[in-house]
Amino acid sequence: MPHHIGQKRTHKAEGESYKRKQAPRSLNRGKGNRVVQEGQGLYAKSGALERRFDVTLVAELAQKEKQIQQNYRPVIGVHKWFARRPGALFRGLLLAEFAGEAKLRDHYFKAHNLAGRTILDPFMGGGTPLFEANRIGMNVIGCDVNPMAYWIVRQELGSLNRIAFRNAAEAVIRDLETAIGSLYRTKCTVCGSRDAIVKYFLWVKRQRCAKCKIQFDLSPGPLVAENERHPAYVFHCPHCNHLTEELRRPTGDIVCRHCRKGFTLQGTARQNHYTCPSCGHTGQYPHELAKEGPPHHRLFAIEYHCPHCKPRHTGRFFKTPEPADLARVTKAAKRLKAEEPIIPNDPVSKGAETKRLLRWGYHRFRDLFSERQLLGLGLIAERIRKVEDQTVREALATVFSDTLRYQNMLCRYDTMALKCQDIFSFHGFPVGLIQCENNLLGISGIGGGGFRHFVEKYDRAKAYCEEPFETGFSASGRKHIIPIPGERILATLVDCFPSLSQERAAWLKAGSVEDFQLPDGHLDGVFTDPPYYDNVQYSELMDFCYAWLRLILRADVPEFQAPNTRTDRELTGNKTLGRGLEFFTQGLSRVFSLAAHALKPGAPFVFTYHHNDIEAYAPVCVALLDAGLLCTAVLPAPAEMGASLHINGTGSSTVDSVIVSRRGLSEVPNILMSRGALEHALSEDGADLAKANLRVRRGDLTCLALGLVMASANRQLMPTWDAAHPVPEKLARVGTLLTSIAGKVGLETVIERVYAETLKLGRRESQLPLFTDILPPRYEDVRRRRDGR
């Protein structure tokens, strides 16, 4: 449930513990909503959100959404952004605050028009709070120092003639199929057809032995494909370079069916060391490899699709490259040199995320692509620049930018799922030894990651904007789409503060909130997902797309004039760039203060936070205090999937602390936290999340506990806080109090005890309203007739 840290107390020394006296509560356990009775301290006086937010409802919706987020919120398919928070969370927050006194679960699935209100997101990133607010009729203001974030949100909220978009996209695809389609053909080994279409080219990095100077494959092992989605295991023979298949996983050496020689599952490379197969020398990579520049690769396997054989064929089509396949590689290289299409030549700047690229010898972004990819991408970029309709041209440019994630030589091949993996699947620049070159245009209805697949994804995103929906469930657990007629995602882009007469206006900037000059006391709320201190360096990753996108946009879009997305105003801890805790704190405080002063008295300032290090909560606490914002609630909400590739097995939290704060409240109690209060709050959080069948982890409880500790520190320090003091002094004061509170309440002991309790909570019946309880009768009648009932 939402946690309001205790009730009004008499003043005590900072950090002193107390025994919490429970306030009378009116519990409505059946609906998963807990309400504090009127008159019980600051919590009841603060706001609607604190009273009406339904943790269990939002948690169940949010964790289902995070499983396949593009199916629940297709609008995010406009373009990749990192760590998007669930749309269900921000819809729930907005409706709880602004949509009247009804319980959230009673109107979450109904249409709303909350025109006349304006909210701000000063760290808009992928834009989730903004498009959820726009969807229910609000005006929105958003900014981000990263021009890619600005562009993505603008594309999400902007209008688009989808028919013109699809027609233009088909024209581009036809032209490119004529120009480069032959480079993605191969001969079928089953029927002999020369019209088989390549899905993936698999390449292995090459290493020159430091001792004997012979070049060899830097291979992690011979496995190409497992037998999950193919009838047999596929291996690459290191002796004859042919592919060979085995029905069962070998327990010993593998005997090649072509050369009859045996080989093991061990490759030539392991843990950054290689063993030369010629002389046995052991050396390191990539250190020796990088001296020669970008890595060399050898094409060693192809997965293709044969439309003639597929109806009668079981499994996938794999083959060893033939001379004709290698000739196509040479042909692409010659055409690239002769035709010279537009290609970025931007350098890879040194950074926390890019240092791995530089270590491997990738010094320019063009180094991350094969010559065939550079040729095709350059031709697509040139063709898109010729599209006359500006809105359609910009949409296609965005599609092109997003396609890059699957069209580069850092993509890996998933040997179990048998598909190409996104370069950003680990929120970084992973450099593997086996690279997957995807079919650039893609095969219609087959596979993914091609340009035509991203055209379809973009069109699906804009279709959702026209007719947003939610997802409900029948009594049997079957998923159903619930249309929400009357809502839409579409904004009128403006360049000043929206007036009360405007509806769904959007004022967006590629910059800081400082660039807005917001009038004091006009905002109805701030809803945001701010940067976390030592989080992923998104600008370093987004430079990968920006380098290409600016080739198309820079002539018409001022925000794409800069050579990259880096800026001194980016609020992240970055040791490579010398940005420490003080830099982060100062920037966060400045943004919080400017945004808070633009709020109407008592309006909510709501943000998600996600960290398991107590040090990272000090900047947040300082920023809140500098802005005069008092924490009124801490809400638990799912943020990530435990199975996400970048956090799977790390013990990281999959839950956010959602911090609710307000400015200008009449009473500011000095409230301290006891061990009992913390344990009670965490136990309630764990129980509410368990009702949503969310598996609560230690990391989740740690994140929530630290949010509660930070809120307590905020309450205690507010009466005597002086924002004019130096940042180091403020950080020291907050850090000392946070550590003191954590020690006095026995933070680790409480977390372990609550974690043990949550393990005992079994799977519960879904708390979501049933599909048939949500739909209007007329729609349900149509569905029954359609289903023959």
Kindly report, residue by residue over 467-478, the tens digit of the pLDDT. Answer: 999 998 777 778
User: At residue 669, does pLDDT exceed 60?
Assistant: no
3-class SS shares of the chain: helix, strand, coil, % to 5: 40, 20, 40
CA dist 358 and 437 (Å) reads: 21
pTM listed for this prediction: 0.90
Domain ranges of the chain: 25-158+461-537+572-771, 169-220+267-390+401-449
Task: Find the DSSP H helices in 47-101.
Answer: 48-52, 55-67, 69-72, 87-98
Helices first, then strands: H and E counts in the chain: 24, 28
Closest CA to 553 of 405, 347, 342: 342
Give buried/exposed letters for 151-181 (b at 16+ CB in 10 A, else e).
Answer: bbbbbbbbebebeebeebbeebbeebeebbb
Residue 245 burial (CB < 10 Å; 0-12/13-18/19+)? middle
pLDDT of residue 11 exceeding 60: no
Q: What is the pLDDT of residue 31?
A: 32
Instruction: Give strand ranges (E) for 550-626.
Output: 604-609
- Range with the poorest average pLDDT among 338-347, 603-612, 667-676, 678-687: 667-676
The tens digit of pLDDT for each residue in 260-292 reads 999 999 999 999 999 999 999 999 999 766 667
Q: 223-232, 341-350, 386-395, 643-652: which range is least confident on average? A: 643-652
Cβ atoms within 10 Å of 258's Cβ, excluding its own = 13
Say if residue 39's pLDDT is above 80. Answer: no
Domain 25-158+461-537+572-771 carries which CATH code? 3.40.50.150
pLDDT tens track for 80-139? 999 899 999 999 999 999 998 889 999 999 999 999 999 999 999 999 999 999 999 999
User: Which pLDDT value is given to residue 34?
Assistant: 33
Mean pLDDT computed over 703-725: 95
Which band of pLDDT confidence, cut at 50, 70 and 90, is reported for residue 40?
A: very low
pLDDT at 750 over 80: yes
Max mean pLDDT among 96-110, 363-377, 653-667 falls in 363-377
Average pLDDT rounded to a whole number, residues 651-662: 87
Q: Which is it for strands 525-528 and 118-121: parallel, antiparallel or unpaired?
A: parallel
Indicate the residue type of 393. R
* 8 A C-beta contact, residue 154 and residue 394: no
pLDDT band at residue 664 under the 50/70/90 scheme: confident
35 forms bridges with which residues in the sheet? 26
On the question of pLDDT at 187 being above 70, the answer is yes
Most confident residue range from 418-427, 433-442, 638-647: 433-442
- Rounded CA-CA distance 626/628 in Å is 6
Residue pLDDT, tens place only, 298-331: 999 999 999 999 999 999 999 999 999 999 999 9
pLDDT above 60: residue 772: no
Predicted pLDDT at 580: 79
Among residues 781, 722, 670, 688, the alpha carbon closest in space to that of 62 is found at: 688
